[in-house]
Structures are given as C-alpha cells and as structure tokens.
Structure 1
Amino acid sequence: MTSLPVGGALGLALLLTLFAVATTVTNINGEWSPWSNMATPCTKSCGGGVNLKVRSCTNPSPQGSGQLCLKMDLVSRADKEWKSFDCNTQSCWGLVWGNWGNCSVHCGKGVRTRYSMCGTDVCNGTMAKSQSEPCNDWNKTACPSPCEDMTCPQFGVCQDKSTVQEPIAICVCTMGYEMNPDKTSCIRPPPTTPTPRPIPTLAPEQKVVATVISKSASTLIIIMVSITLGLFLFLRVFTTDRVIQMNMEIALLLAHILLILPGNVNKIPVACTVISILVHFFFTACFMFMLLEALHMYSLVAYVVKKDGMFSKAQNVLVGWGMAAFVVLVCMAFQLDNYGGDYHCWLRMDTPLVYGHFIPIIIIIILTFALIEAAGAVSYKPLTGMDRTQLLSAKISQRTNLIIMPLVFSHWMVGMLSEYEQNLPLYGTFSILNGVTGVAVFLLHSSNNQQVREKLRGCYRSMCKGSAVSR
C-alpha cells in the first residue's frame, strides 16, 4: 500500500475540517433595520403630504435556514419594506399675521380681527385668512355713561354701576315695585308670607297653676251669675229691663262654661273650632244686650216712652241674639279656618279674624257709652203718665252699666291675651277681674231693679217681724 504524500495528507485534513465547520453553522432569522433617514420627496409642500421611507431585513440578515423578516401585514415576508409618513403638515396660509383692527364697539366690549395672506400652495376663498378675539374699548373717564343709551321700564330708573374694566348699567324699580324675572317690567311685589309666630309655652308647673287660676276664675263668675239668675227666677221678676239683663247674664254664663272645658279639647280641631265660634258668639251677645239695656235706659230717662222701653221683651231677645249671630256668621264666611288655635280654643290674635272680634264689640261699646252720655247730658221734658218705678231703675241702670261694661270688656281682653300669650301674670289678673265682674253683676243687677229691692225689703221686714214674735 502506497502512502500519500505529506502535502496531500495535509490538504485532505483541511478539507475535512472545513466540511465539519460548515455542517455546524447556526440558523438565524432576519430582523428589520430602522426606517431610513432618507425619504422620497413629499407629495405636497404644505397642507399635509406624504413621503416614503425604507427598511431592510439586515439587522441581522437571515442565516442558515433562517427566515426573511415579517412585513407589517404580519403575513408575508420580504428582505425590504416601504412605509408612508406625513410631511409638510403646516398650513398653506402664511404664518405672518397683520396688525389687529379697531374694536367693533366704541366705549364698550366687542371683537377685533386680523388677517393672514395665502401661502405658497393652492389657497381657497378670498386668498386671506381671518382671526378674531374679544376687545374692550371702555374708558370710564372718557366714555359717556351707559345709562345715556339705556331705556328702563315704567317705574324704573337707570343706575350706572360701571367699573374700570367694563360699562355696567342696570334698571332699578322704585316706589315699592320689583323687577319681574324677565327684567322687562316693574311689578307690584306679592304680599309677603308672615313668619309663623312661635307657640308660647309655660313650664309644666306654671301650666298647672295657670289652668287652675283660669278655670277657678271662670267657675267664680259662673257661680255669681248663676246666683243672680236664680234670685230673679225665685222672685219671678221678668220686666223688660230684667229680660235684657237676664240674656246678658246667660251669654256671659255660657261663655265661661265653655272656658272651663278640659284643656285637651284643643287637640280635637273640630271641637276647638266650635268652641272658638261659640265663645265669640256668646261674648258678642253679652255686649249686644248691654247696648240694648243702654237703649232701654235712654228711652226712659230721655222720656222717649212712658214705660217698658222702645222694644218689647221678644224684640230685645231677637235683636240681641240675632245681631250677635250675624256678626259671627260674617266672620265665619271669611275666616272660618282661623277659629280655634294650635294650643288654645279662644282667639288667634295673629290672623285677620281679630278684626271680626274687636271692631263690632268696640262699636257696640262706643254706642253704649254714647247712649249713656246722651241720657244724662240734658234735662228732658217729662211725659205725662210716666212710670216712675221704671224711670228710677233706668237711672240706676245708667250708672251700673258704666261699671259692668268696662269690667266685662277688661276680663274678656285679659282672658284672650292670657291664653294667646300663655302668660302667668295675665292669668292672675284674669282671675281677679272675673271675681270682681261676677260680684258686680250680682250686686248691681240686683240693686237697680225696683221690684227686687221691694221684695228684698219685704223679706227683710218679714224676717224682722218673725224674730220679734219669737222673742
């Protein structure tokens, strides 16, 4: 066997080495290079055009069995790819603006405008572009008042409220008028709703004392008036003047009976309303019968009639109760909802109903005093056949009415105020006035009736004789 030359052996070894290296090369996929800095010319010089840039699959290039780069569509592969980019996006209008024009309003706020001419590419319209902004040409010292050009509605005047920055003029209504929501006219304001009056309260122990005082006072006057009525019924005195007084006493008695009803009745709205109406009715009737008594007295003292007064017994009763009912019905027609209160059942003095209570009674009192004054003002010519007994009773009644009416009016007023104000001292005053009024009614009504005086005098004589016989 022949051996290879040394040179041949070395060459064969080199070839085997190169083959072994070639068979061990790694497979590498290709990757894209960055987009090229160079690009194709822009399709437009302004207004937004496009140009193209390229990238190659050389970062790194594919090796061995490696793949070409994946294109942007994520489907196909290539060794290079083109992409469009925006260019020359600036406006085709020139960027150099002219000076601002004058403000559109003199001495006020307006707008001002400036223009830019067309650039290098195709431009539309008037070959110029405008730009506007607010402006203020106001100068408080040099400019006239804005009120000079402003017209206000009737009953309105202009007021200049301008500042350094802007002219301001407003229309203000006068003479109690107010501007309507549209700022177009001055109107009368609607009546304001008064703030509800807070309900006055007493401490629990004071409330107990007030209740005892007020009910005791009413009980006292009920007792004294009942004694007066019982006395005249027992003596069977039913003259015209006595019938008038009797109805006055009945009205006063019924009013106070209502006032001693349980205090929790004010929690029943309907019952409280009925009580308030009846109290109003009975007190009005009480004053009305005092007016009829004064009229009866005047007709005798002034010698208008010889006896029994101007009206019969039935007429006096009808007029007294009828006029009181008329006053109350008128008040109910307009102010029914205001009868009764949240915490008492007398008079709500914060409502218009107070006028329905006070005005008729004050008119009645004025007329009563006018009749009393007229009866004693001058000397009248006596009538032939005058009933001297009734004349004497009328003259006494003339004086007793001057005492009883102020007492009734005072305790009526103080009673209403004490309930309305929930005032303990007023309750005490009410109690005292009730006692004085009850005693005054008993004594004065008993003493001013001639028949009562005679019967009491006869009873006294009989008692005296009886005591003398027993001795």
Structure 2
Amino acid sequence: MMTSARIILGLALLCTLFVVTSSRDLDGSWSPWSSMATPCSKSCGGGINHRVRSCTHPVPSGAGKLCIAEDSTEKEVEWKTYDCNVQSCWANEWTEFGNCSKECGRGFRYRYAVCGNDTCKEDQYKEDSEKCNTWNKTACPSPCEEISCPEYGVCKDNSTELDPIAFCICTMGYQMNSDKTSCIRPPPTTPTPRPIPTLPAEQKVVATVISKSASTIIIIFLTITLILFFLLRIFTPDRVIQMNMEIALLLAHAVLMFPFMENETLCRVISILIHYFFTACFIFMMLEALHMYSLVAYVVKKDGMFTRLQNTLIGWGLAAFIIMFCMCFEYDNYGGEYHCWLRMDTPLLYGQFIPVVGLVIMTFTLIEAAGAAEYKPLKGVDKSQLLSARISQRTNLIILPLVFAHWMVGMMSEYEQNLPLYGTFSVLNGVTGGVVFFLHCTNNSQVRAKLTGIYKSMCKGSSAR
C-alpha cells in the first residue's frame, strides 16, 4: 500500500515539474540560411536570387520575442538577396574602334558588341563611342572653303592647332546682322549732347560786364572815325570801302550789346545779324585789298576797279547772299540754348568759317601779289591814291589779323563760357578799335594833308611866340 502511494506521489511530482517547465517564456532564434536559393533572375550579365531563414531555432514560446531581422524589425521569416550569373552575355566583347566620323575636324568613332547567349532577349547588339579629332592645320584645307559669306562679307580663317575655326566678317563699314545672315549698313550714331557750360553767378556778371565794355570800346573808336571823316567830307573810293567795313563792324558789336534772349525767334534774329555784319566786314576788307592791288599793280590809274556804289553793293549784297544760303540749310541752328552768338556745334559752323577763311586767304593773297613784283607804271597815275594804296597794303596786314582774332575769341568765349577768353576778347576789342581809328586816318591822303596843315599851323604859332 505504501509502495503504491509512493509511486503515485512520484508521478504527480513529475507531472507538476513538466507543467512548470512547459509554461516558461522563451525568445525565438534564427535558423541557418537555407542552403537552396531561388532561381537566378538572369542567366548572364548579373542577376539576383534569394535565400531564407526562419525564427524557429527555437520557436519563441510564452512571452518570448520574435527574431530581430537585419533591418532591426521583428520577423518570423527573413529573405536575403545574392548576386548570381555575373558572367558577360556578350561573345568576344567589343570590336576595335572604327575611323573618325570627320576627315578634318572633331567627330566620333564607334565600336560594337554582339550577344553570344540565347538569353539576350532584349538587346542582341550594342555600340560604344568616343570623341576623336583628325584636324591638321597644315594638311587639312581651310574651313573657309566650305563657308559662303553674304554680300560685303569675307571669310576669316582663325584656325588653331586643335580646331578649324572660320567666320564671316563684314567690310566697307558694314555690320553683321543679329542672325549672321547678311551685312547691313549701321545706323548713324547719335552723338552725345554737349553739356551746357555754365559760369558761377558772380563770374557771369563779370563776363557780361567785360564783353559789353569791350563792345562799347570798339563802338566808340569806330564812331569817332566815322564822324571825323564825315566832318571832313572825305568820300573817296578807298574811304567808302573802309567806311562800310567800319559800319559793319560797329553794327556787329551793337547787336552784341543785346542780352541773351530766351525768346527763340529773337535769339535767332540776333545770331543771323551777327553772322551777316561780321561776314560783310571781311568782304569789305577783301574789297579794300582788291582796290589797293588795282592801284599798286597799275591795273587802273585811280579810283580802283569799282565805283563807290559798286563796292557798297558788292560788299553788302555778297554778305546777304552768303547768309541767305546758310539760312536755306541751317536756319534752325541759328541762335543757341545759352547764347545768341554764332554756334560752333552744328553744321552751320561750315557756313560761318569757310566764307570768312576764304575771304582772309584772298585778302592776304592780294596783299602779297601787290608787293611781289615791280609792275610797269601807267601814265597819269594819281600819286596820292597810289601812296594811300601802298600804306593800305601794310595796314591791312595789321587790321585783318586783329579783326579775325577778336571775332574768333569772341565766338569761343560765348561758346565755352570762359572768363579768361572774355578778358582776351575785351583786350582785342580795345586794340582793334584803336588800330582801325589810327591806321584808317593816317593812310588817307586828305586826312594826312589836314593833319600836316594842323601840325604846320601849330608849329608857326609856337615860333611866332
């Protein structure tokens, strides 16, 4: 009885131990990777296959955890990829590279491969390329032989040792258009407007006073000269020419006395009158030189080549013709934005300078021709007029440069608004007025006779005392 109880008790203990052992928590663990893999995805050229392992070594029990995969997640099964069939599918691999696609220049050369495996179902043929350069500057023809340039264009070869380079350029002042297909004449360039010169307010006042004073000085000298000859009633042909020259110069400076006119029309009128009077002044000096030449060269016996009326009409009429010609083409350019003097920044400049320079050259030519040789005298020549002509020959060499210089400096001073030029203009005006007064009086025979008589009477009066 005791023996049976002991057996039953032992069996009960064994069962209890088995139950306790079977209910213990156990984490799972990976089995080895399978020795068999899935079929390779490609038979050549690099494929992939897979192997598998499971979380059964042991299987997790109780509260045990699943296996941790390589991506750090819990999994029951994990797959792994392997490369397979990495051998090339292509028979004999690549052929040799062929010739360059360009004979003289940069191109490409190619090589090929053919599939040698039945599994190459997508591509049975492939090609490869690389750059090549067959240019030889010495042996290859000029690239200009293949270029056709447009009219007025020529090809320029700028090839280097590495590349053929050629392009068309235009000649004769033409320019290539934007699409490089033709040579076109470029549009005229618009010059940058000249900035208006200005003087500080105090310097402007000084410049105005200087210029007006200068004109006043020469007007006074010329007025005295005209009054003197009028009172002496001397109206010989040479004197009439000089008188017209003095009147033209006086009127030019009288117009200069007007202030700058902001009214465009009035400013243009002043500019035209200045041009007209100065041009007439130079024409009368040329006529005086012609009168002098006709007497010194014994072309005529007396009174010159033209009468007093003819000289007057020629001087004023020729000046009017020159001004009207300029007005036909450059009327809008008379008058300025900041002065009413003759403008120097427009084509009107040619209408101002060319006639005056031509007249100065003609005057000097006549003076030089008169004294260049000994001419055969004519019988019955008026000796007093001949003497006056020879004196005039020399005095014009002084008066003409002075008038030309003060005309130029006056124009430049207004154009540049330059205070030193205004000062120079003032000095030249005073000198010109004094020289004209003195030389025109002394080279006239009747004035000389009057002055000689006055001198003798003064000498007799002093001796009687």
Partner of 1:221: 218
1:177 corresponds to which of 165, 170, 174: 174
| Closer, same or farther: CA 158–217 of 1 in aligned 2, 3 Å | same
Q: Name the aligned partner's letter for residue 366 of structure 1.
A: I
Tell me: CA distance 1:211–1:140, structure 2 relative to 1, closer, same or farther (3 Å). farther
Deviations 1:244-269 (A, max 9, x none): 00000010001101111113x1x221
Query: How many pairs does the alignment contain?
Result: 362
Which residue pairs with 2:153 in the alignment?
A: 155
Q: Distance in 2 between matches of 1:191 and 1:138?
A: 45
1:281 corresponds to 2:276:
yes
Task: State the alpha-carbon separation in 1 of the partners of residues 395 and 244 from structure 2.
Answer: 16
Match for 2:198 among 177, 197, 201? 201
1:334 aligns to 2:351 (yes or no): no
The one of 226, 235, 238 equivalent to 1:238 is 235
Are the aligned partners of 1:159 and 1:172 in contact in 2 as well (CA < 8 Å)?
no
Q: Distance in 2 between matches of 1:171 and 1:286?
A: 58
Describe the superposition over 1:140-176 as per-residue Cα deviations: whole angstroms up to 9, x where unpaired: 6799665442111233224558998x98653222343
Q: Is the 8 A contact 1:159 1:170 kept in 2?
A: yes
In 2, Cα distance between equivalents of 1:163 and 1:191: 40
Paired position in structure 1 for 2:307 = 312
Runs of 4+ in structure 1 over 4 Å off: 102-110, 135-146, 159-164, 166-169, 459-469
Q: How does 1:78-97 map to 2 (within 5 A)?
A: none
Deviation, 1:212, is: 0.9
CA distance in 2, matches of 1:435, 1:177: 54
Percent identity over the alignment?
68
Aligned-pair CA distance for 1:370: 1.3
- Whether 1:400 aligns to 2:395 is yes
Deviations 1:306-358 (A, max 9, x none): 11110001110111111111111221222222222111111221222212111
Check the 8 A contact 2:100/2:133 in 1, yes or no.
Answer: no
The alignment status of 1:431 with 2:446, answered yes or no, reads no
Alpha-carbon distance, 1:191 to partner: 3.1
Partner of residue 416, structure 2 = 421
1:269 equivalent to 2:270? Answer: no
Q: Does 1:343 align with 2:343?
A: no
Aligned residue identity for 1:226: T
Matched residue SS, 2:302: coil
Residues 162-218 of structure 1 show CA distances to partners (whole Å, capped at 9, x for unaligned) of: 998x98653222343311345333234333222211111111111111111111101
Give the partner amino acid of 1:298.
Answer: Y
Given that 1:138 and 1:167 are in contact with CA atoms closer than 8 Å, whether structure 2 keeps it comes out as no
Give the distance between the partners of 2:131 and 2:219, measured in 1 at CA: 86
TM-score by length of 2: 0.68
Q: 1:147 to 1:377 in 2, by over 3 A?
A: closer
Other structure's SS at 2:340 match:
coil
Match of 1:21 in 2: none
Letter in 1 for 2:229: F
Cα RMSD for the two superposed structures:
3.8
The gaps in structure 1 that reach 5 residues or longer are 1-98, 113-127, 129-134
Distance 1:331 1:276, change over 3 A: same
Task: Report the TM-score when normalising by structure 1.
Answer: 0.67
Distance verdict in 2 for CA 1:211–1:177, change over 3 Å:
same
Partner Cα distance (1:218, 1:435) in 2: 8
C-alpha contact 1:241 1:308 (8 A) present in aligned 2: yes
1:161 touches 1:170 (CA, 8 Å); kept in 2?
A: no
Secondary structure in structure 2 of the residue aligned to 1:344: coil
Counterparts of 1:37-116 in structure 2 under 5 Å? none
CA contact (8 A) 2:102 2:134 kept: no
* Aligned mates of 1:221, 1:177 — CA distance in 2: 54
Output the CA distance in 2 between the equivalents of 1:109 and 1:204.
Answer: 74
Contact 1:255 1:278 in 2 (8 A): yes
Q: What residue is the counterpart of 2:64 in the other structure?
A: none
Structure 2: 5+ residue stretches without partners? 1-93, 111-122, 124-129
